[in-house]
């Protein structure tokens, strides 16, 4: 490996963990459905939402590079109220979001290993049981500190999924399936059902806004392990590779859905296992049977990585938030104990949601993405105020252009959220 390549890879850290967390439900499920339902219509929506949300995701690693601390400290600098807002919004959404990503992972597992008739149980019960087993495995990895083993595979996972997705789309374009040319369904702003889907689609595109905080915490942990604070320039390079890479993947998944499903008369199933089978079929139709094992491993590992990352991030951020609010009661030295408390809470709460509130993968994903859609402007505003606070060194503070970009984007997000709620 050349020194140039080594230098490049050495700069890629938390940005790839961000990519591993982001490329999940929003890409494998929502982007593919968007293409299957509306063809190429929503490609522009992917581009616009990335432009709208870009500054707020950037501020996570930028804040840590500028201060050496995670962005929750920036929230605390604004006042305890900001940290409380983050905690309340996290507690309101975390169990539903964790359930959504876990049940999608379970759907892939059920389909790949043909577990649909497990014990003669109903499909929902099988999904809940498999999801619970996945959560127990993730809990064991996190509680024993072996999460780092999976982190080392993130580069390979994302690389395999990216290559196969781009290759599948390229093959389909040259194959030129003609059914999409005669399709008549087009996205319409006058259709309430279309607008609701758009809200669920954009709510998690490219990822929930919470990931900006997670990214900041991962960057802080990376600094602690390396013994030095990453420069703003290096942190932004790392972030942009992950951010724009996931944008390209979102478009690839939309194209897959559009080229294979749009106009074919087929629709995606609300069942996690059935949907997983349809997703695998997209690659088989484009690349041939040889691709199935490769894509199955890449998709399953990607979703397992997302499940594990979310299960790690929620307890980690809640523990850090609690320490900021109650430093006299919560010693940083006992962080592991606080983390384990929130980890147990997340696992138990998610299992209860899966057994008593799970109706279908589609319903779970819809609720989770809408929560993210409505919460987005609030977290975006907190990130902006923290990044432009006077406590940030002026040399590391974003310029006036980014300031205007931020508040214009927040206004757009607020209008979208209010419009959706009024519907």
Separation of alpha carbons 94 and 240, rounded Å: 26
Q: Residue 377 to residues 53, 215, 364, 400, 410: CA-CA distances in angstroms?
A: 9, 18, 22, 20, 6
Separation of alpha carbons 341 and 344, rounded Å: 5
At residue 163's C-alpha, the angle toward residues 161 and 166, to 5°, is 105
Question: In which band, very low, low, confident or very high, does the pLDDT at 7 lie, cut at 50, 70 and 90?
Answer: very low
Q: For position 414, which CATH number holds?
A: 1.20.1740.10
Domain count, the chain: 1
Count CA atoms closer than 13 A to 193's CA, side-chain side: 5
Least confident of 58-62, 94-98, 210-214, 269-273: 269-273
- Smallest CA-to-CA distance from 102 within 375, 305, 345, 253 is with 305
Separation of alpha carbons 213 and 87, rounded Å: 12
- Smallest CA-to-CA distance from 187 within 203, 169, 199, 170 is with 199
Q: 53-84 in b/e burial notation, b at 16+ Cβ within 10 A?
A: bbbbbbbbbbbbbbbebbbbbbbbbeeeebbe
Predicted structure pTM score? 0.86
Is the model's pLDDT at 84 over the cut of 90?
Answer: yes
Q: Which domain holds residue 80?
A: 3-422
* pLDDT tens sequence across 274-327: 787 888 888 787 778 877 887 888 788 888 888 988 898 999 999 999 999 988
Is the model's pLDDT at 189 over the cut of 90?
Answer: no
Is the model's pLDDT at 272 over the cut of 80?
Answer: no
Separation of alpha carbons 330 and 323, rounded Å: 5
Token digits for 345?
Answer: 């809470």
- Report residue 237 CA to chain centroid gap: 20
Separation of alpha carbons 92 and 86, rounded Å: 10
Is the model's pLDDT at 347 over the cut of 90?
Answer: yes
Helix ranges (DSSP H) in 113-153? 123-143, 147-151
């Amino acid at each position: 490996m050349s020194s140039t390549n080594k230098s490049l890879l050495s700069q890629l850290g938390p940005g790839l963990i961000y990519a591993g967390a982001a490329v999940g439900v929003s890409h494998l499920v929502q982007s593919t459905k968007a293409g299957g339902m509306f063809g190429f219509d929503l490609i522009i929506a992917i581009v616009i939402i990335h432009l709208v949300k870009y500054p707020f995701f950037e501020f996570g690693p930028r804040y840590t590079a500028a201060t050496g601390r995670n962005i929750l400290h920036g929230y605390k600098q604004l006042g305890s109220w900001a940290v409380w807002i983050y905690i309340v919004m996290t507690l309101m959404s975390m169990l539903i979001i964790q359930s959504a990503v876990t049940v999608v992972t379970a759907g892939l597992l059920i389909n790949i290993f043909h577990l649909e008739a497990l014990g003669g149980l109903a499909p929902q019960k099988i999904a809940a049981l498999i999801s619970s087993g996945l959560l127990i495995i993730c809990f064991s990895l996190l509680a024993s500190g072996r999460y780092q083993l999976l982190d080392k595979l993130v580069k390979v996972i994302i690389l395999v999924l990216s290559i196969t997705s781009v290759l599948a789309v390229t093959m389909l374009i040259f194959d030129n399936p003609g059914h999409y040319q005669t399709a008549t369904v087009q996205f319409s702003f006058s259709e309430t059902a279309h607008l609701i889907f758009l809200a669920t689609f954009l709510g998690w595109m490219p990822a929930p806004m919470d990931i900006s905080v997670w990214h900041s915490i991962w960057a802080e942990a990376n600094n602690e392990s390396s013994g030095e604070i990453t420069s703003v320039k290096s942190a932004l390079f790392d972030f942009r590779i992950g951010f724009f890479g996931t944008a390209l993947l979102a478009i690839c998944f939309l194209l897959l859905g559009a080229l294979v499903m749009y106009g074919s008369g087929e629709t995606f199933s609300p069942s996690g296992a059935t949907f997983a089978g349809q997703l695998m079929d997209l690659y088989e139709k484009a690349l041939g049977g040889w691709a199935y094992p490769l894509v199955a491993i890449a998709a399953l590992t990607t979703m397992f990585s997302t499940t594990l990352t979310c299960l790690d991030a929620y307890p980690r951020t809640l523990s850090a938030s609690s320490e900021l609010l109650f430093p006299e009661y919560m010693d940083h030295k006992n962080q592991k104990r606080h983390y384990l408390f929130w980890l147990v809470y997340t696992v138990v709460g998610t299992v209860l949601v899966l057994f008593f509130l799970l109706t279908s993968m589609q319903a779970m994903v819809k609720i989770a993405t809408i929560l993210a859609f409505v919460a987005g402007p609030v977290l975006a505003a907190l990130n902006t105020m923290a990044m432009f606070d006077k406590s940030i060194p002026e040399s590391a503070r974003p310029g006036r252009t980014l300031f205007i970009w931020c508040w214009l984007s927040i206004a757009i997000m607020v209008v979208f959220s209010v419009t959706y709620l009024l519907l």
